[in-house]
A and B are shown apart, each in its own frame.
Chain A
C-alpha cells in the first residue's frame, strides 16, 4: 500500500515537474532547450567523486557517485589507492595537463556553453581548452584516435542533450583522489535543463578494463549569473611566471608605460585598403548574416616565421610577406622594437617565445600559427576554436570592453557585422605574446581591429590592423586568406609532450653563461 502510494506520488511529481520544465526553460529558435551561457558546479567532486572528509589538500564533500561505490576490479582498486597516495606528483593536473571528460565538467572553473544548430561548443576557463560536440550526426573522420579530451558526438532525446564521449586516452583521472580509467572508457552524458538557471548533469561510465559494471555520477550545473564572460586561467603560464621559468619583458608586458624617448605614434596614418567583393552565393543564416561556420586553414604565407618577406633561412619556412600597409610591406617599428625583433631571432632567444612554452598565441597570431580553426555562430556570438588548443569568444552585443586592468593573452573581443564583413575590436592584451617565432614585437598597448570577409563560400579574407604606440610609429595591417576545408578539428595536447623547451633553455643558459664569463674577464 505504502509502495503503491509512493509510486503514484512519484508519477504525479514527474508529471508536475514535466509541466514546469516545459514552461520555464529557455528555448532556441529551433525549439531545443537553450543551454547557452556560463555554468559551474557547486560541489567538491573535483577533489573526490566519492564522499570524503577533509585533508590538507582536499576540501570535504558529499559524493556524486549514484550508488556511492565505484565498482573497481580488485587490481584497479589497488591502483586507485596507489594513485591516491602519490597524488601530489602523479595527478595529471599537478603538471597542468588536460583534465579530460568528465573531470573538467566539475572543476572549480566556469565554462561557457555555446549552442548552434549543428554543434555545441563548451569553452573552459581552465587553460582555454574546449570541447566541440557534433549534434548533426557527423561521424568522426579519424576513428581510433585517442585523446586527452575524447571525441564527443551528441544528439537529442526529446529535451535531453545526450553526448557519447569515446576515444579517451588512459592518462586522465576522474578527480584529484586518483580515481581512474583506461582508454576503453565510454561516457554517456545527459544534460537536462530543470529551469533557466539549472542543468541536471548525469554521466554513465563504462570501462570493462577497470570496472566490474557500468556506474554513474550525477550533479547540478548552476548558471553563473554574475559573469558575462570567461576570463583566462593559463595553469602552466602561472606556474612558470611564479617560479621564474618565464620572465617578464618590462617593455611589453602590462603595465609597461610608453617610454619618454619613444617616437611619436601617428594613429591616423594608413593607406586606403583595396575593397573586397563578396560573391552573391555565399551561405547565409536565416537572418541574412553570412554563415562562416566551419573548419578553415589559413594560407599563412609563413607569417608565423616573419610578417615581412624572408627567404632561405635555416629551418624556417619562407615568408611571402603579409603586411599590406604600409605599402612597402615593412612593419613601422620604433627603433628599439626593430632592434629587439632582430635580437629575438637569435638562437639564445628561442626559449622566450611563449608558444614554445605552449602558452596562447594571442591575436592576430592565433590565426596564422600552422594549425586550423573552427568558426561557430551561436546567437549573439562568433566563437573561434583553435586546434592549437585555445579559443576566442567574440561578443556581438555591443558590450563595453573589460576594465583596463584585466589583461588577457587573447584580449577582449567585441564585434559587429558591417554589411557582410565581421569587424572585431580587441583590447585588454597582456603584452606577453610574440607575433611569430622570429619575434615580431607587440605590447600590451596594442588594439587590434580585424575584418573577416567571406568573399566566396569557401574563402574568408582576414585583415588585422594593429595599433601599438609602444612598438610602432603608425598602425599596420596584414592580410591572410582562410580556406574552408572538409576536415575536423583535432586535439593539440602541447604541454603534455613538449620535449623541445628544455633544449631551447640549454641554448639560452649556455649563452648567458658565456656572456657572464665574458663580462667578468673585462
Chain B
C-alpha cells in the first residue's frame, strides 16, 4: 500500500499542487524564515477538511518529546488520490520537511513526508521548497 501511496504522491506533486489548497493563507500562517526538518513517530492521522493533520512525537535537543501538528492538503483530496486513514498508522516513523508557524507553536506546513525506507511522499502546497530540499 505504501508503494501505491508513493506513486500517488509523486503524481500529485506535478499536476495538482496548484489545485489542492487551502481555505486560508498558508503564507500568512507559516514563516519562510523557519524551515523545519523533523523526524518522529506518528501519533495520529486526522482525516479532516479543508486540511488533514498528521500528529507526530519529536524529541528535541534536551530530550523532551514534543507533539507536532503537521498540516497537509485536504482529506478529501487525499481520499480521491487513493489514500485511506489506515495508510499512515500511529507508530510509524517518518521525516518531514516544511515551515513552522509564525506563532512559534509546534505546527508546520509540510511539503514532503519521507518514510523510513527513504521513499518520499508529497503532501504539500504551493511551489516553494525548503532550502534543505534544494
Chain A interface residues toward B at CB < 8 A:
142, 144-145, 297, 299-302, 304-305, 312-318, 345-351, 353, 355-356, 358, 369-371, 387-388, 437-438, 487, 490-494, 496-497, 499-501, 503-504, 506-507, 510
Q: Name the distance in Å between A98's Cβ and chain B's nearest Cβ.
A: 12
**Are A503 and B76 in contact, CB atoms less than 8 angstroms apart?**
no
Interface pairs A-B: 9 shortest CB-CB: A350-B28, A356-B24, A497-B48, A317-B18, A506-B103, A315-B26, A347-B28, A350-B25, A492-B49
Q: Are B102 and A315 neighbours in the complex by a CB distance under 8 Å? A: no
Query: Residue of B at shortest CB range from A491?
Result: B49
The answer to whether A315 and B128 touch across the interface, beta carbons within 8 angstroms, is yes
- Of the A-B pairs whose beta carbons lie under 8 Å apart in the complex, a sample of 20, sorted by A's number, is A314-B126, A315-B26, A315-B125, A315-B126, A315-B128, A347-B28, A347-B102, A349-B28, A353-B24, A353-B25, A358-B23, A371-B76, A388-B50, A492-B49, A497-B51, A499-B71, A500-B23, A503-B102, A504-B29, A506-B103
Q: Taking the complex as formed, is B19 at the interface, i.e. its CB lies under 8 A from any CB of chain A?
A: yes
CB under 8 Å from chain A, chain B span 23-62: 23-30, 32, 46, 48-51, 53
Decide yes or no whether B92 CB sits under 8 A from chain A.
no
CB distance from A492 to the nearest CB of B (A): 4
What's the Cα separation between A199 and B100 when bound, in Å?
54
CB-CB contacts of B1-30 with A at 8 A, as 1s and 0s?
A: 000000000000000011111111111111
Contact status B17-A314, CB under 8 Å: no
**Nearest chain-A residue to B111 (Cβ)?**
A315
Q: Does B65 contact A (CB under 8 A)?
A: no
Q: Does B94 contact A (CB under 8 A)?
A: no
- Our pick among B25, B51, B101 for the contact of A316 (Cβ within 8 Å) is B25
B26 touching A506 by the CB < 8 A rule?
A: no
What residues of B have a CB within 8 angstroms of the CB of A312 in the complex? 127
> Which B residues lie within 8 Å of A299 (CB)?
19
* Given known A-B contacts A145-B79, A315-B30, A317-B17, A492 and B50 have beta carbons under 8 A apart: yes
Q: Chain B residues near A371 (CB, 8 Å)?
A: 50, 74, 76
Query: What's the least CB distance linking A132 to chain B, in Å?
Result: 14
> Which residues of the partner chain A approach B24 to less than 8 Å between Cβ atoms?
350, 353, 355-356, 437, 500-501, 504
Q: Is the interface of A mostly helix, strand, loop or mixed?
A: loop
Q: Which residues of B approach A to under 8 Å, CB–CB?
A: 17-30, 32, 46, 48-51, 53, 69, 71, 74, 76, 79-80, 84, 99, 101-103, 105, 107, 109, 125-128
Which residue of the partner chain, among A297, A438, A506, contacts B25 with CB atoms under 8 Å?
Answer: A438
Contacts of A504 in B (CB 8 A): 24-25, 28-29
Contact between A492 and B76 (Cβ–Cβ < 8 Å)?
Answer: yes
> Are B126 and A317 within 8 A (Cβ)?
yes
A504 to B25 CA separation, bound complex (whole angstroms): 9
Q: A359 → chain B, closest Cβ, in Å? A: 10
Residues of A within 8 A of B46 (CB): 497
Question: How far is the CB of B86 from the nearest CB of chain A, in Å?
Answer: 10
- Count: A-B pairs, CB below 8 Å: 130
C-alpha spacing A334/B49, complex, angstroms: 36
Max chain B Cβ within 10 angstroms of own Cβ: one of A297, A316, A318: A316
* Distance in Å: Cβ of A357 to nearest Cβ of chain B: 9
Chain B residues near A345 (CB-CB < 8 A): 25, 27
Closest Cβ of chain A to B17, distance in Å, is 6
Kindly state the separation between the CA atoms of A59 and B127 in the bound complex, as whole angstroms: 54
In this complex, what residue of B is CB-closest to A313? B27
Chain A residue with Cβ nearest B18: A317
Taking a contact as CB atoms under 8 Å apart, the answer to whether B107 and A315 are in contact is no
Do the beta carbons of B27 and A369 come within 8 Å of each other?
Answer: no
Task: Given A300-B19, A370-B21, verify A507-B49 contact (CB < 8 Å).
Answer: no
A314/B32 contact (C-beta < 8 A), A142-B79, A503-B101 known: yes
Given A370-B20, A437-B22, A506-B102, A496–B27 Cβ distance below 8 Å?
no
**A residues within 8 A CB of B79?**
142, 145, 490
B37 to chain A, nearest CB (A): 17
Complex Cα distance A144/B83, Å? 12
Contact of B18 among A145, A318, A346 (CB under 8 A): A318
Chain A residue nearest to B48 in the complex (CB): A497
A197 CB to nearest chain B CB (Å): 38
Given contacts A497-B49, A503-B101, contact A315 B27 (CB under 8 A): yes
Inter-chain contacts of B105 with A (CB < 8 A): 503, 506
A147 to B: closest C-beta gap in Å = 10
Give the complex CA separation of A316 and B48 in angstroms.
21
Report how far A26 CA is from B53 CA in the complex, Å: 48
Q: Are B127 and A318 in contact (CB under 8 A)?
A: yes
Do A370 and B22 have beta carbons less than 8 Å apart?
Answer: yes
Q: A369–B26 Cα gap in the complex (Å)?
A: 14
How far, in Å, is A376 (CB) from chain B's closest CB?
A: 20
Q: How far is the CB of B88 from chain A (nearest CB, A)?
A: 16
If A353-B25, A507-B28 touch, does A315 touch B99 (CB 8 Å cutoff)?
Answer: yes
15 A-B pairs besides A497-B48, A500-B51, A503-B102 with CB distance below 8 A are A315-B25, A315-B128, A316-B27, A316-B126, A317-B127, A347-B29, A348-B28, A350-B27, A355-B24, A371-B50, A371-B74, A490-B76, A491-B76, A500-B29, A503-B29
**Cβ of A370 and Cβ of B27 under 8 Å apart?**
no
**Contact assessment for B128 and A314 in the assembled complex, using a CB-CB cutoff below 8 Å:** yes
CA–CA, A346 and B48, complex, Å: 27
In the complex, residue of chain B having the shortest beta-carbon distance to the beta carbon of A361: B23
Kindly list chain A residues whose C-beta atoms are within 8 Å of the C-beta of B128. Answer: 314-315
CA distance A224 to B41 in the complex (A): 55
Give the residue name and chain of the A residue nearest to B17 (CB): A317
A388 to B20, CA, bound (A): 12
